[in-house]
Each structure stands twice: as structure tokens, then as C-alpha cells.
């Protein structure tokens, strides 16, 4: 298995992966739009490739103050073998190389299985209120 940054030929496979893993995401998280918007900013998009097949992916972000992880996903049939861990570690290492000292992420409060995964990687729950606004 190889973890690497996205390449041109990966887009459709990554879009299909995210649609499969996040089937109930809201319209503003539509994978092709998110991917195109991110690639206009930088290439902090990582994929896990196994036998020439994209089996996982994630987006990292850095604003000069703190880093973020978004859309960390592994196909269900490839979970629990360390792929997600390696994706997160690769993203965090790239952020560290940019000078990032803290990485944040958001998950749904009901997603206890994913919360346990991130806790195993050293993340902890912080007392914060997450807010957002759509730009019109």
C-alpha cells in the first residue's frame, strides 16, 4: 500500500470513494466541487493506493495558524488494517513540514467509532462550539 499526494488520474476514483463513504453528506460537500476548489488552493490531498486502486483519501488544510483534516475516508472493505492511520499520519507530517503545530478536525457527535479512531492517534475532544455560515 502506498500513501501519496493526488495525481491527475485520481480524481474520479477519489470522488467515487467519498460518495460511497459519505453517502449522506449535504450538497455543499459534493466531492467533485470540493476537490476542484481545493486544487485551486493547494495539493494537500492524499490518497491510499493498493494494487493501483484508490482505497482511501483525505484532505489537509493549513492557514498559517493551525491545520485541519477533512474527508478522511477508507473504503469499508479495507478498514481496520492501518490505512486510515497512515493517511492521517502522512497528512500530519506534511502539515508539520509547513510549520503547523496543531491539527483540528470535526466529526459528527454521533460517530463514536470514528472518535475512538482519532483518540487512538492522539486527538482529544476540546470544549468548543462549532459554528458555520454559508456565503451568499
Please write the tens of the pLDDT for every residue from 95-105. 999 999 999 99
- 119-133: per-residue pLDDT in tens? 999 999 999 999 999
pLDDT (average), residues 51-78:
97
Q: With contact defined as beta carbons under 8 Å apart, do 66 and 104 qualify?
A: yes
pLDDT at 136 over 90: no
CA dist 53 and 115 (Å) reads 27
Give residue 30's pLDDT. 96
Q: Domains, the chain, ranges and CATH?
A: 2-120 (3.40.630.30)
- 17-34: per-residue pLDDT in tens? 999 999 999 999 999 999
pTM for this predicted structure = 0.93
Give residue 54's pLDDT. 98
CA dist 95 and 89 (Å) reads 10
Q: What percent of the chain has pLDDT over 70?
A: 100
Q: How confident is the prediction for the chain on average, in pLDDT?
A: 96
pLDDT at 47 over 90: yes
Amino acid at each position: 500500500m502506498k500513501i501519496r499526494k493526488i495525481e491527475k488520474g485520481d480524481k474520479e476514483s477519489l470522488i467515487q470513494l467519498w460518495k460511497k463513504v459519505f453517502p449522506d453528506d449535504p450538497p455543499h460537500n459534493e466531492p467533485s466541487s470540493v476537490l476542484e476548489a481545493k486544487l485551486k488552493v493547494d495539493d494537500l490531498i492524499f490518497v491510499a493506493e493498493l494494487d493501483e486502486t484508490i482505497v482511501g483519501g483525505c484532505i489537509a488544510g493549513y492557514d498559517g495558524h493551525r491545520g485541519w483534516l477533512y474527508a478522511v475516508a477508507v473504503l469499508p472493505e479495507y478498514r481496520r488494517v492501518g490505512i486510515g492511520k497512515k493517511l492521517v499520519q502522512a497528512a500530519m507530517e506534511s502539515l508539520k513540514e509547513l510549520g503547523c503545530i496543531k491539527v483540528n478536525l470535526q466529526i459528527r457527535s454521533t460517530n463514536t467509532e470514528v472518535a475512538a479512531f482519532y483518540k487512538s492517534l492522539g486527538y482529544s475532544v476540546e470544549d468548543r462550539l462549532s459554528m458555520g455560515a454559508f456565503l451568499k
